[in-house]
């Protein structure tokens, strides 16, 4: 559920498909997925093999940093689609598939899966009568070829309103709803120039969009400045990680009289550390926020391993085998960069990498320039060799781990 658990509208229905339907979906997906990937938007990174939403977050972050370097105020419009995957219309999806010119046999198979379907509701071990419905599965989501997190950025309020209107018209054409209450505007001010027009009003479907100081996009907090975004996101990650740790207490994740240290550390690496460091490879937190994260991690590891409060930091990491926060973020940043390197040459994030690395100075706050400095830190000489001839994911992780160990012992 999303939101208050006591409100039924916050719950999403679960449709249980017959095994045969899942097998047919898998077979059909083999035939038409290459066609979908070829024709989908280059900015679509959700539900796409070998990519993640963080690839789209890199593009967002680069635009944000570019405006900041220019000392230019700008506007962010975050548009929220209401139940984007629950309200899709089957006829619209089938039309999308037809226009993609997929194999007619595959199209007929998918159409038959949704023809004259019916659903029943199970509640307290009782089944309702059959009623008309549809099956929701991987095919529908991939056919739409879009996600429900939409961000529009511009330094001109009139241009931004035009883009919002385009997004609204597209949503009306494809029968999904953009919510004016949850779609927000963030005004990012310049550090030096304060003569920003704060009276700009943006409308979505004739309703005024709220002007807020912070909001989440792709799980990363965005605010009116980079420092505020970084601080708020670190606080959010710390809170989520703490809640995750508390939820595991009943399973024995509490040190004394709990699970053995090996199992506890494995649970930490699997469930807590990813939450604590999510999105930080994009934001690249400064020393103060890095200290907060490091303090939280060391405190939790001491409790899990039943170590005394005055245990030296090297002893904590040697015993646990967990990387320090800075090393974890560096590793995730380099892994994301390798993912960008392995993208097609026509991908937006890879073209952006070539552009920024050729044009921007070393003093720039560009994410790609920061990544280049990070490569120098770990002994890699030329960043373009990885863009032109990227190593595989396994080779890259092994190489980064080897360089980190060498650099760590050297320091």
What CA–CA distance (Å, rounded) separates 411 from 409? 5
Cα separation, 17 vs 136, in Å, equals: 8
pLDDT score at 138: 38
**Neighbouring residues of 353: CB distance < 8 A, sequence distance ≥ 6:** 340, 341, 368, 387
Element holding 375 (H helix, E strand)? helix 367-377
Note the residue count of the chain. Answer: 411
pLDDT tens digit at each of 411 positions of the chain: 456 667 766 666 655 667 787 788 788 788 778 888 888 877 777 778 888 889 989 999 999 999 988 888 999 999 988 765 556 677 887 888 888 878 888 888 888 877 777 777 777 788 777 765 544 443 332 222 245 678 999 999 999 999 999 999 988 887 778 887 789 999 998 665 554 555 689 999 888 999 999 999 988 999 999 999 999 999 999 999 999 999 999 988 987 888 899 999 999 999 999 999 999 999 999 999 999 999 999 999 999 998 998 999 999 999 999 999 999 999 999 999 999 999 988 889 999 999 999 999 999 999 999 999 999 988 888 899 999 999 999 999 888 887 776 665 455
Alpha-carbon gap, residue 375 to 18, rounded angstroms: 49
The pTM is what?
0.83
Helix (H, G, I), strand (E, B) or coil at 291: helix
Using CB atoms within 10 A of its CB, is residue 252 exposed (0-12), middle (13-18) or buried (19+)? middle
Q: What is the pLDDT of residue 84?
A: 59
Residue 294 and residue 231 in contact, taking contact as beta carbons nearer than 8 Å = no
What integer pLDDT is reported at residue 411 of this predicted model? Answer: 55
Cα(170)–Cα(172) distance, integer angstroms? 5
pLDDT at 244: 94
């Amino acid at each position: 559920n999303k939101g208050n658990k006591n409100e039924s509208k916050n719950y999403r229905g679960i449709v249980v498909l017959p095994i045969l339907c899942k097998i047919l979906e898998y077979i059909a997906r083999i035939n038409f997925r290459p066609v979908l990937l070829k024709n989908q938007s280059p900015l679509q990174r959700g539900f796409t093999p070998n990519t993640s939403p963080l690839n789209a977050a890199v593009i967002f972050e680069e635009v944000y940093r570019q405006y900041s370097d220019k000392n230019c105020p700008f506007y962010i419009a975050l548009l929220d689609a209401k139940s984007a995957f629950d309200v899709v219309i089957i006829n619209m999806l089938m039309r999308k598939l037809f226009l993609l010119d997929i194999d007619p046999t595959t199209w007929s198979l998918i159409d038959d899966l949704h023809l004259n379907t019916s659903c029943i509701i199970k509640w307290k071990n009782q089944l309702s009568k059959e009623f008309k419905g549809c099956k929701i599965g991987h095919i529908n989501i991939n056919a739409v070829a879009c996600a429900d997190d939409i961000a529009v950025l511009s330094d001109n309020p009139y241009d931004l309103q035009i883009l919002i209107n385009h997004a609204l018209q597209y949503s009306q054409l494809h029968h999904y709803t953009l919510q004016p209450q949850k779609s927000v505007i963030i005004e990012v001010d310049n550090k030096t120039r304060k003569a920003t027009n704060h009276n700009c009003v943006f409308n979505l479907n004739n309703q005024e969009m709220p002007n807020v100081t912070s909001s989440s996009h792709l799980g990363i907090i965005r605010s009116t400045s980079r420092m505020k975004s970084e601080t708020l996101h670190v606080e959010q990650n710390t809170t989520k990680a703490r809640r995750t740790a508390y939820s595991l207490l009943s399973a024995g994740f509490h040190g004394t009289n709990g699970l053995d240290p090996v199992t506890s550390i494995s649970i930490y690496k699997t469930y807590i550390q990813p939450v604590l460091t999510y999105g930080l490879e994009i934001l690249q937190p400064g020393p103060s926020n890095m200290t907060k994260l490091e303090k939280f991690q060391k405190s939790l590891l001491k409790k899990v391993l039943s170590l005394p409060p005055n245990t030296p930091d090297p002893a904590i990491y040697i015993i646990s085998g967990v990387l320090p926060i800075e090393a974890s973020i560096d590793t995730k940043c380099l892994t994301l960069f390798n993912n960008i390197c392995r993208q097609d040459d026509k991908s937006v994030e890879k073209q952006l990498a070539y552009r920024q690395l050729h044009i921007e100075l070393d003093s720039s706050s560009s994410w790609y320039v920061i990544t280049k400095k990070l490569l120098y830190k770990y002994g890699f000489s030329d960043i373009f060799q990885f863009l032109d001839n990227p190593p595989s994911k396994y080779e890259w992780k092994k190489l980064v781990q080897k360089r980190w160990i060498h650099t760590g012992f050297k320091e």
